[in-house]
Amino acid sequence: MVVDSSVWLELANSGKLAESCESRLNKVSQIFIPTIVFFEIYKKVKKIQTEQDALEIIGALSRFTVLDFTRDVSLLAGDLSLEYHLSMADSIVLAHAKILKTSLLTLDHDFQDIPDVIVIH
């Protein structure tokens, strides 16, 4: 399963959906994290907290399988962005899931109604 930054941020902040996120993640045998998710987490956590906090989260997530941004991912992301009207980051995360033929876990409602995407409410 590919996991979006929104899930990790919810867990890091002990948000109201953190339990639901944790429950979903505990049922998964393999977790994939696109490199752009590291960018999103680092930027958001450093802005609100500290660089050290951001690096600690990134370090913890590095134990999962990290997915690099490749030409194939970028081309598919472009197609998905056009098809679903997604931002660049969202389309890259979705492209990784599509290439791996796995689901995407997110809290982002921009993914609503896209096949193989689990949006936690």
Task: Please report the DSSP string for 71-87 in residue order.
Answer: HHHHHHHHHHHHHHT--
Q: What is the residue extent of each domain of the chain? A: 2-119
Q: Cβ atoms within 10 A of the Cβ of 56, count?
A: 14
Q: pLDDT, tens digit, for every residue of 16-42?
A: 999 999 999 999 999 999 999 999 999
Q: What is the mean pLDDT of the chain?
A: 97
Whose tokens are 């999103």? That residue is 40
Q: pLDDT, tens digit, for every residue of 34-70?
A: 999 999 999 999 999 999 999 999 999 999 999 999 9
**Class in CATH terms, 2-119:** alpha beta
Rounded CA-CA distance 89/80 in Å is 11
Whose tokens are 């197609």? That residue is 79
Can you give the pTM of this predicted structure?
A: 0.94
pLDDT band at 83 (very low <50, low <70, confident <90, very high): very high
Percent of the residues in the chain that have a pLDDT greater than 70, as a whole number: 100
